[in-house]
Amino acid sequence: MRAVFKQNAFIKFILTAGFLYFFLYLIYQFVVKRYTYYDQKFIGSIIHAVNFLLEGIGYKTFTVLQDRDYQIIGIDGSNGVWIGSNCNAITLFSLFSVFIIAYPGKIKNKLWYIPLGILAIHILNILRVIALVLIAYYYPQFLNFNHTYTFTFLIYSFIFFLWMLWVNKYSIKNSTAV
């Protein structure tokens, strides 16, 4: 069994990534969300960024910020959009990080690539929320579809793109030392 694990890089990657993601998921679900307000504070920071950018381009906005699971941003005249813990991208940061950690590559490259990738995902998520707020204002009948399908596809495609960039440019097969 050990020889198969060493020889098959794909199995090693899947097992490593699966274990790391499961471990981070448990920490997030049973520590961060249950015993801290960091999750909600992070959502609040997303809402503040979205609010700042929307007001910067001339929209009059409203927000509802609370410590527990009720945070909304919108353009006056709309119902706005509710931003929940599944929308803050923390699990996506974990998914991206796990892919990079589990795939071979130089540690020094991982130390800059992971934070840069997380920042890029965070910025894309803020742009996603802005787009959803605009859709809720101009075309509310399309909000659910775009939230569920369009933006899910775009975000996961972007994470896949970042991972493929890692695999093709920075992975161990493209470098000489670990």
Which uninterrupted H or E stretch holds 88?
A: none
Is residue 7 over pLDDT 70? no
Q: How confident is the model at residue 36 (pLDDT cuts 50, 70, 90)?
A: confident
Question: What average pLDDT does the structure give for the chain?
Answer: 89
How many separate domains does the chain show?
1
Question: pLDDT value at position 41?
Answer: 85
pTM, entire model:
0.85
Is residue 178 over pLDDT 50? no
Question: Distance between CA atoms of 10 and 152, rounded to whole angstroms?
Answer: 26
pLDDT tens sequence across 124-168: 999 999 999 999 999 999 999 999 999 999 999 999 999 999 999
Tell me the residue range of the domain where 117 lies.
2-174
